[in-house]
Amino acid sequence: MEKSKKAMLLSLLFMGIGQFYNKQYIKGAIYALIEVITLIFGIPYFKKSIWGLVTLGEVKFHYVNGKAVFDHSLFLMLQGIIALLILAIIIIAYISNVYDAKKNANRMEYKKTTIHDVLDRNFPFIILAPAAVFVMFIVLFPIIFSILIAFTDFSGPYHLPPRALLNWVGLNNFKDLFKLEIWSGTFYGVFVWTVIWAILATVTTYFVGLFLALLINSNEVKFKKFWRSIIILPYAVPGFISLLVLRLMFSGPGPINDWLEAIGLQRVGWLTEPGPAKFVLVLVNMWLGAPYFMALMSSVLTNISKELYESADIDGATGVQKFRFITLPMVLYATAPLLITSFAFNFNNFNIIYFLADGGPVNPEYQYAGHTDILISWIYKLTLNQQQYHMASVVSIIIFIIIASISAYSFTQTRSFKEEDLIQ
């Protein structure tokens, strides 16, 4: 039998033996220690944790001799997820142990490796391993937890731990969201407004920012730095402060309605009627977001070669033609990825919806949502106000699928993505 196959089989039987066979004693001892700890402490721990994840507890809340006795479903779920992540790390270590034994057996035939060689060869993995573990527990752990909640009945008032045990319900929450009228009507209404809002918020801020950048960079405008500073000021102020001030200004007895009344017009329910409330949201978002794109596009415009415009002038191109065939393509080429991320940001732009209108005015046909609520603000109300965690989790998964799909597809279609190898 070849030496590499023999080392691989030995590592399959027990972690580290293949390394001992290759005379890599320190590495073999580390692998063997991992398997010993797993066998002694891991098996009982994994058995209990997986049981908790599968059953979510069996002991209902009750008192025994004045002491509360219960299984906490959420804690059992958390412990189960942690156990699965640790198990994944052990499996990765097991696979790497087998692969390492086979790979180094071949090398040992020609050259005896030292500890320094091993450390030097695995330096990138040693450095990246803590970061990978950190990402696994800080990023993956909450994502897995929120996804699993979507498949339970975690909701108030009758399914809240520790007073009650949670149950796995499969895809019932997804079916209820799309088929039960009490949920589907709200979901479709909020979803349509979320898409409209994301498109309007992105397009208005992007093109108003482009217009401001073109205006300020034109030769006729003097004191360019002054105008840039004035326009960028809203972006420099903390957003929620601006939103709270604007909320007061657009309120019923606010100064804007006083001004309208002073010039003989009627007061408008800016934040109490659906149409005006949506208009105010788009307008305020444009005021807050356009300066960012103006600053960004000003730098893009300054990098466009003047020779292009001079050639266009020689060919007799008009100002509109120069904008259409030179300026706009160059700006879109440089900022298309940011345009996509801006759409994703506005799809989940919770701050402006919550601080300015609080999702209002109230829509009596919706379940826990107002006329201007978008999906993310609806999730907020479902969780913190109504304790409908299971439905909030389902909506979160849908948002993730939509945003991830649109972003991935759009990024791959941009020229900057296709021609990234040309960028030096």
Write out the H or E segment, with its range, that includes residue 288. helix 274-302
Question: In this model, does residue 49 exceed pLDDT 80?
Answer: yes
Question: In this model, does residue 111 exceed pLDDT 70?
Answer: no
Question: In this model, does residue 142 exceed pLDDT 60?
Answer: yes
Instruction: Report which of 121, 103, 101 is spatially closest to residue 20, judged by C-alpha positions.
Output: 101
Confidence of residue 340 (pLDDT cuts 50, 70, 90): confident
Encoded amino acid at 71, one letter: D
**Domain 173-421 -> CATH class:** mainly alpha
CB neighbours of residue 341 within 10 Å? 14
Domain ranges of the chain: 3-169, 173-421
pLDDT value at residue 196: 95
Q: What Å distances lie between residue 63 and 59, 105, 118, CA to CA?
A: 11, 61, 58
Q: What Å distances lie between residue 288 and 233, 284, 360, CA to CA?
A: 9, 6, 20
Q: What is the pLDDT of residues 347-364, one digit of tens each?
A: 989 999 999 988 889 898
Confidence of residue 190 (pLDDT cuts 50, 70, 90): very high
Biggest CA–CA distance in the chain, Å, is 98
CB neighbours of residue 87 within 10 Å? 16
pLDDT mean over 278-283: 94
Q: In the block, which residue shows the tokens 């994840």?
A: 53
Q: What are phi and psi of 397, to 5 degrees?
A: -65, -40
Question: In this model, does residue 422 exceed pLDDT 60?
Answer: no
Q: DSSP characters for 63-131? A: EETTEEE---HHHHHHHHHHHHHHHHHHHHHHHHHHHHHHHHHHHHTT----HHHHHHHTHHHHHHHHH
pLDDT mean over 192-200: 94
Instruction: Report which of 153, 168, 165 is spatially closest to residue 59, judged by C-alpha positions.
Output: 165
pLDDT value at residue 424: 47
DSSP 153: -
Kindly report whether the peptide bond that precedes residue 157 is cis, defined as omega within 30 degrees of 0.
yes
| Stated pTM of the model | 0.81
Percent of the chain surpassing pLDDT 90 = 41
Cα(111)–Cα(109) distance, integer angstroms: 6
pLDDT mean over 70-95: 93
- The two structure tokens encoding residue 51: 């049981």
Cα(325)–Cα(305) distance, integer angstroms: 14
Cα(225)–Cα(219) distance, integer angstroms: 13
Cα(150)–Cα(145) distance, integer angstroms: 9
Question: In this model, does residue 423 exceed pLDDT 90?
Answer: no
pLDDT mean over 138-146: 89
What angle separates helix 181-217 from helix 328-347, to the nearest 10 degrees? 150
Cα(424)–Cα(256) distance, integer angstroms: 52
Cα(103)–Cα(96) distance, integer angstroms: 10
Cα(235)–Cα(217) distance, integer angstroms: 19
Find the Cα–Cα–Cα–Cα dihedral 282, 285, 286, 288, rounded to 10°.
160
